[in-house]
Amino acid sequence: MQKVDVLNKISKNGIMAVIRGKSEEIAYKTAVSCIIGGIKGIEVTFTAPNADKIICKLKEDYPNDTELCIGAGTVLDSVSARIAIMAGADFIVSPSFNKEVALLCNLYQVPYIPGCMTVTEIQTAMTYGADIVKVFPGKILGKDFVSAVKAPLPQVNIMPTGGVSIDNMQEWFDKGVVAVGAGSNLTAPADEGDYDKVIENARDYCNEFEEISSAKIK
């Protein structure tokens, strides 16, 4: 999948499901539940056991879904990044910026989305080719941080993660973000084995994003 195609799909899909899990099975089932619910951006974090195998299996299970983007999250080093890319990851997400990861992703033409907390970090990430930066943790930095950053850097594409919910999605997009990362607010029921609730949550997120997108068009 070409880098520009992945970036366009992330923006079009609007929602990135952040998949964790105490076991490979739980993480996999959580990801599948989000997909069934309509979410097309899936970030399998490397805190989940055998995350690379989960990515590989998801890619094998959904070969014909042209809108689906499956990537790796919590990637801390270039070794993990390469493992994820070899498993078929469409994008790489990190909680912080790492120069070696950025260079590796550029080499393989895979989008790199690093977590940043300051304008300096964001500028550095952009210099090393990050097309989207993850404002993290979003709950602490807040929505006004997006406005403050986009004043001197209007060209930056921002995806907040942490503290994003259905109730505040509209506010984030009003600030100009290109997508949002949804974690425990979306997937928490999976911890109790309630995957039907995860599917329901995913549908609610997708419906809310559709309403936000429709309002923008009007």
CATH architecture of 2-212: Alpha-Beta Barrel (3.20)
Q: State the pTM of this model.
A: 0.95
* Closest-CA residue to 17 (of 98, 65, 87, 71): 71
Give the active site residues.
Answer: 43, 134
* Closest-CA residue to 140 (of 118, 158, 122, 125): 118
Q: Three-state SS for 133?
A: strand
Per-domain residue ranges of the chain:
2-212
Model pLDDT for residues 28-68, shown as the tens digit of each residue: 999 999 999 999 999 999 999 999 999 999 999 999 999 99
- Measured distance CA(127)–CA(153) in Å, rounded: 12
Tens-digit pLDDT string for the chain (218 aa): 689 999 999 999 999 999 999 999 999 999 999 999 999 999 999 999 999 999 999 999 999 999 999 999 999 999 999 999 999 999 999 999 999 999 999 999 999 999 999 999 999 999 999 999 999 888 899 999 999 999 999 999 999 998 899 999 999 999 999 999 999 999 999 999 999 999 999 999 999 999 999 877 65
Amino acid found at 138: G
Provide the strand spans (E) within 20-91. 41-45, 69-73
- Measured distance CA(77)–CA(104) in Å, rounded: 10
